[in-house]
A and B are shown apart, each in its own frame.
Chain A
């Protein structure tokens, strides 16, 4: 037993200076050693005995009838194990669950196209072979015959009478049509000195995780288990989709994830691939692996929602915004795989950071012959907030006011927190004016304003753009009852298990299925503080395994929820373990359980100062249980499921859609080259507030990542289709992800306004709300002031900017 004591003290010494609390400490990530030394365990690292490889044939057409698919030549190729086509899938599986209300929920979606293809890149057939190359060779031997029919690439076009209907069973291309109406927008229009009107467009882009989708499925005939190794980021949420489609019992599906090279939302809707590869595993009797290629990922995995807005903003001459009236057309592509969730999720942040009470939104979600959309970092709020932040700048310009002045005038005040928005959101604390003034100081705003005037005289075009955006986290699934009250989802929940074994080892398991965010690290910090040990003494299981980890069907890495939900679950489990451990300690020490504290690896009696080490408590609990208090159950382990206090939408669709509302202010200074339309970022500053931080280093990394992603969206990343419905940016040669050369130095600062509702005052962080997209759009328009160019698109393509300048020059 002395050995164990020694073991513990050695571990403790590894950390040189222990802070009083591990929460708030910039601890280096526990995951990094294995990831940086190439020891990460990704799906493609798994090799099972007898494993075969799948490849997928995809539609070359945006919209076409499938006349026939002949796989006979492919099946004769040496090394081919089996094939699968859509017609067979329609017999073997049920269509995927739909969460729309009728008639959109009649949509029939299978893992391979049945009868018709609906976008270029849609899977139509699959091959399993001994090697990946053979599977790909076999694809070329499949004779697929199509008859092209008219396609439609624009949401507004898709609504017109006579437009091609993507899914005949739905009857039209409309997925959702809804109207949110709060306050009195008509009265606001009448009171206004001016009504600013604008048409805006938010472009299509997505995330580009370094690891594409990946599935390895194995049907174990002996146990009847379907073992699925994937990098899906909500593996247990998608169980109903997988189980119902496959008609396979949920209690024999084992979902496993390991290290994941990023998700950002795009890996939520990979369930068609999980079903496809499972079918292939069952058909072939072999474990089957499929690793998505980059082109497959870009063209057929998951795009972000494209959205058009018609905005009317009633304002007073002093800059007071009286309300917002919006019509939105959301283009969700060819299938609704997580939609129409995006049609309501924007309402997490209905008024942005602003106080106006009058609000009207007519929202239409429409299908087109393009890649289906799904969650993508800042999902649905990003589009909405971009529209608001762009509108605020337009208001400032039209009234001749500084955009910072208009923001400060209209911000929700810190003393109004918690603030209830017109749509029932409850903002959990924050100081938007301070955030803005801090970012202005960081970027040296007023000096740039002066410099801008001076430089203009010399012909240099400097632009300054500001944006303050909400980064809402931990969603209330009750939001999807807005689009369909029948949806059996509400609230949110997460599970955690903490055990102290017979040798005093603390082990933690979470349901959060990390995608690279550092869950092992933050969970260690939270648990270390609870037990008065160092994070090195807390082992957190990597990845997720439904046969091992506790989970709820809302578990997963999405909606910036893991720190908040994970901490809630961890604190609950820790409380249970500590209560029991305290009773055991009190029994040994002959003390009052109420006076037991956990410090430095010991349970300490506050009254007497006497203590016993954790390992001894574990020893009694598990293997020396005659020493347990009378009647106590052996073992020292607890599972806790935590849920925040959420409600359901009322008759006006008011509800608090998320638990936390982080926010960020961004400021960008750019220099525009009017001869080319290209610009560069001269300086970039960010102030973020995600409440109490568990690990400031991880927070800063998230802030940087989200900024880089937003800069990418604003300046480089764009999914553009040609007239035939072919994606132009289907490789990384054309889908331009920013590199280290494109992302400027980021000057960052943090505020820590504790959440009024979340455990420990923490708030979700990581999505960033796409803030750079509006900051940069605002900066571009600002730079082009001498030309009077207006920016109405979220993507700043140099050619388009150049053309806007040329058009204005001609008029000058």
Chain B
């Protein structure tokens, strides 16, 4: 199929892009287009206008050090994330997630900002960013504001970005030394949407005690969520197989998963436990 008729704008600056979003009814930001165009082709989405932000001249593809956090430009592709040395070293959870998205062609064009704004609860990067307690920098007419992760994802396909705002950067707070992170997902094929996606960040204290832990879940609620009960259970305890397994048993308490042909609600609830345990163990093995 072909999309419905739409207007296409390729503004020369972010400022102009924001203006276009303001004045055009039902306009959508186009980044890599790997979700939006597919939906438009099936006519499941039919925006009146697309505002392409890849030609603004404002460089939105970067990975750089900020103050106490790493800054990732919204137009950074999945492929760049997957291959970035700094990401692989500091936040392997993100390269794990990026490497499992779709196929190479999709990873070449798909962007971290696009994935977050699309807000598919089964998407990989939003789940990974949830475990990292990332912050989202958006720009609008009135300037810049920073949205914490907990306020960013509102519902399935819905974020708290206003109609005339553009996500420009994602800020990932640095983890303390002796931290490790991992993202793994259960899917039918390598690059499919997650049946269950789990992100884990662990910080090891003296005597292998869990100083901090964050577990995030994808594809099991209307947004990525945190498995708080599992986190509470593990925090302060020795990071051994038994405690991790016990915590993982609690990982599905906050989940409210849907059913589809690849996984029923019950199957997903069960798989959360398995993958939470595996993600925690992997994250722990990377903690240095």
Q: Which residues of A contact B (CB under 8 A)?
A: 132-133, 136-137, 140, 293, 295, 675-676, 678, 716, 718, 720, 728-729, 731, 733-734, 736, 738-739, 741-742, 798-799, 802-803, 806
Once A137-B4, A718-B261, A728-B260 are accepted as A-B contacts, the answer to whether A678 and B192 lie under 8 Å apart by CB is: no
- Closest B residue by C-beta to A731: B42
Contact with A along B164-196 (1 / 0, CB 8 A): 000000000000000000000010111111000
Instruction: State the CA gap A729–B188 with chains docked (Å).
Output: 13
Number of A-B pairs whose CB atoms are under 8 Å? 54
Q: Residue B2 contacts which of A133, A731, A734, A738 (CB distance < 8 angstroms)?
A: A133
A293, A718, A731, A798: which has the most chain B beta carbons within 10 Å?
Answer: A798
Once A728-B260, A736-B192 are accepted as A-B contacts, the answer to whether A295 and B5 lie under 8 Å apart by CB is: no
Contact A295 B189 (CB under 8 A): no
For A742, list chain B residues within 8 Å (CB).
Answer: 189-190
Instruction: State the CA gap A802–B264 with chains docked (Å).
Output: 12
For A803, list chain B residues within 8 Å (CB).
Answer: 267
Instruction: State the CA gap A137–B5 with chains docked (Å).
Output: 9
For A678, list chain B residues within 8 Å (CB).
Answer: 186
For A729, list chain B residues within 8 Å (CB).
Answer: 261
Instruction: State the CA gap A806–B269 with chains docked (Å).
Output: 14
Nearest 10 CB-CB pairings of A with B: A133-B2, A728-B261, A741-B190, A799-B267, A675-B274, A720-B261, A293-B1, A736-B188, A736-B189, A742-B189
Q: Does B103 contact A (CB under 8 A)?
A: yes
Instruction: State the CA gap A140–B2 with chains docked (Å).
Output: 13
Q: Does B270 contact A (CB under 8 A)?
A: yes
For B5, list chain A residues within 8 Å (CB).
Answer: 133, 137
In the assembled complex, the CB of B82 is this many whole angstroms from the nearest CB of chain A, namely 15
In the assembled complex, the CB of B220 is this many whole angstroms from the nearest CB of chain A, namely 15
For A733, list chain B residues within 8 Å (CB).
Answer: 192-193
Instruction: State the CA gap A796–B193 with chains docked (Å).
Output: 19
For B43, list chain A residues within 8 Å (CB).
Answer: 136, 140
For A731, list chain B residues within 8 Å (CB).
Answer: 42
Contact A802 B261 (CB under 8 A): no
Instruction: State the CA gap A132–B2 with chains docked (Å).
Output: 8
- Closest B residue by C-beta to A728: B261
For B2, list chain A residues within 8 Å (CB).
Answer: 132-133, 136
Instruction: State the CA gap A262–B191 with chains docked (Å).
Output: 25
Contact A798 B261 (CB under 8 A): no
Instruction: State the CA gap A803–B43 with chains docked (Å).
Output: 36
Instruction: State the CA gap A741–B263 with chains docked (Å).
Output: 21
Contact A739 B190 (CB under 8 A): yes
Contact B271 A676 (CB under 8 A): yes
Once A133-B2, A293-B1, A733-B193 are accepted as A-B contacts, the answer to whether A799 and B264 lie under 8 Å apart by CB is: yes
Contact A295 B261 (CB under 8 A): no
Q: Residue B189 contacts which of A136, A675, A716, A720 (CB distance < 8 angstroms)?
A: A716
For B271, list chain A residues within 8 Å (CB).
Answer: 676
For B192, list chain A residues within 8 Å (CB).
Answer: 733, 736
Q: Does B232 contact A (CB under 8 A)?
A: no
For A716, list chain B residues within 8 Å (CB).
Answer: 188-189
In the assembled complex, the CB of B120 is this many whole angstroms from the nearest CB of chain A, namely 11
In the assembled complex, the CB of B50 is this many whole angstroms from the nearest CB of chain A, namely 15
Q: Residue A739 contacts which of B3, B103, B263 (CB distance < 8 angstroms)?
A: B103
Can you name 14 A-B residue pairings with CB atoms under 8 Å?
A: A132-B2, A133-B2, A136-B2, A295-B1, A675-B274, A678-B186, A716-B189, A728-B261, A733-B193, A734-B261, A739-B103, A739-B189, A799-B263, A803-B267
14 additional contacts (CB under 8 A) given A136-B1, A293-B1? A136-B2, A295-B1, A295-B42, A675-B274, A716-B189, A720-B261, A729-B261, A733-B192, A733-B193, A736-B188, A742-B190, A799-B267, A802-B270, A806-B270
- Closest B residue by C-beta to A733: B193
In the assembled complex, the CB of A461 is this many whole angstroms from the nearest CB of chain B, namely 15
Instruction: State the CA gap A718–B262 with chains docked (Å).
Output: 10
For B274, list chain A residues within 8 Å (CB).
Answer: 675-676
For B3, list chain A residues within 8 Å (CB).
Answer: 133
For A720, list chain B residues within 8 Å (CB).
Answer: 261
Contact A734 B189 (CB under 8 A): no
Contact B186 A676 (CB under 8 A): yes
Instruction: State the CA gap A381–B264 with chains docked (Å).
Output: 33
In the assembled complex, the CB of B276 is this many whole angstroms from the nearest CB of chain A, namely 12
Interface residues of B in 186-232 (CB under 8 A from A): 186, 188-193
- Closest A residue by C-beta to B186: A676
Contact with A along B25-60 (1 / 0, CB 8 A): 000000000000000001100000000000000000
Contact A798 B4 (CB under 8 A): no
Once A132-B2, A731-B42 are accepted as A-B contacts, the answer to whether A741 and B264 lie under 8 Å apart by CB is: no
B1, B5, B103, B264: which has the most chain A beta carbons within 10 Å?
Answer: B1
Instruction: State the CA gap A357–B191 with chains docked (Å).
Output: 48
Instruction: State the CA gap A466–B188 with chains docked (Å).
Output: 24
For A140, list chain B residues within 8 Å (CB).
Answer: 43
In the assembled complex, the CB of A772 is this many whole angstroms from the nearest CB of chain B, namely 16
For B261, list chain A residues within 8 Å (CB).
Answer: 718, 720, 728-729, 734
For A137, list chain B residues within 8 Å (CB).
Answer: 4-5
Interface residues of B in 107-121 (CB under 8 A from A): none
For B263, list chain A residues within 8 Å (CB).
Answer: 799
Instruction: State the CA gap A738–B188 with chains docked (Å).
Output: 10
Instruction: State the CA gap A105–B192 with chains docked (Å).
Output: 43
For A738, list chain B residues within 8 Å (CB).
Answer: 189
Instruction: State the CA gap A746–B145 with chains docked (Å).
Output: 54
For A741, list chain B residues within 8 Å (CB).
Answer: 189-191
Contact A798 B190 (CB under 8 A): no
Instruction: State the CA gap A369–B261 with chains docked (Å).
Output: 19
For A718, list chain B residues within 8 Å (CB).
Answer: 261
In the assembled complex, the CB of B19 is this many whole angstroms from the nearest CB of chain A, namely 28
Instruction: State the CA gap A675–B189 with chains docked (Å).
Output: 17
Contact with A along B134-147 (1 / 0, CB 8 A): 00000000000000
In the assembled complex, the CB of A308 is this many whole angstroms from the nearest CB of chain B, namely 20
In the assembled complex, the CB of A515 is this many whole angstroms from the nearest CB of chain B, namely 25
In the assembled complex, the CB of A11 is this many whole angstroms from the nearest CB of chain B, namely 40
- Closest B residue by C-beta to A720: B261
For A734, list chain B residues within 8 Å (CB).
Answer: 260-262
In the assembled complex, the CB of B139 is this many whole angstroms from the nearest CB of chain A, namely 32
B43, B188, B261: which has the most chain A beta carbons within 10 Å?
Answer: B261
- Closest B residue by C-beta to A730: B42
Instruction: State the CA gap A136–B192 with chains docked (Å).
Output: 29
For A676, list chain B residues within 8 Å (CB).
Answer: 186, 271, 274
In the assembled complex, the CB of B284 is this many whole angstroms from the nearest CB of chain A, namely 18
Instruction: State the CA gap A37–B189 with chains docked (Å).
Output: 30
For A802, list chain B residues within 8 Å (CB).
Answer: 267, 270
- Closest B residue by C-beta to A721: B261
Instruction: State the CA gap A739–B261 with chains docked (Å).
Output: 20
In the assembled complex, the CB of A804 is this many whole angstroms from the nearest CB of chain B, namely 12
Instruction: State the CA gap A285–B134 with chains docked (Å).
Output: 61
Instruction: State the CA gap A716–B189 with chains docked (Å).
Output: 8
Instruction: State the CA gap A137–B271 with chains docked (Å).
Output: 42
Instruction: State the CA gap A132–B4 with chains docked (Å).
Output: 11
Instruction: State the CA gap A140–B1 with chains docked (Å).
Output: 13
Instruction: State the CA gap A137–B192 with chains docked (Å).
Output: 31
Instruction: State the CA gap A348–B234 with chains docked (Å).
Output: 62
Instruction: State the CA gap A223–B188 with chains docked (Å).
Output: 55
In the assembled complex, the CB of A352 is this many whole angstroms from the nearest CB of chain B, namely 30
- Closest A residue by C-beta to B263: A799
For B267, list chain A residues within 8 Å (CB).
Answer: 799, 802-803
B2, B186, B270, B274: which has the most chain A beta carbons within 10 Å?
Answer: B2
For A799, list chain B residues within 8 Å (CB).
Answer: 262-264, 267
Instruction: State the CA gap A483–B189 with chains docked (Å).
Output: 41
- Closest B residue by C-beta to A294: B1
- Closest B residue by C-beta to A135: B2
Instruction: State the CA gap A716–B186 with chains docked (Å).
Output: 14
Instruction: State the CA gap A192–B186 with chains docked (Å).
Output: 46
- Closest A residue by C-beta to B270: A802
Instruction: State the CA gap A736–B263 with chains docked (Å).
Output: 14
In the assembled complex, the CB of B66 is this many whole angstroms from the nearest CB of chain A, namely 36
Instruction: State the CA gap A295–B263 with chains docked (Å).
Output: 22
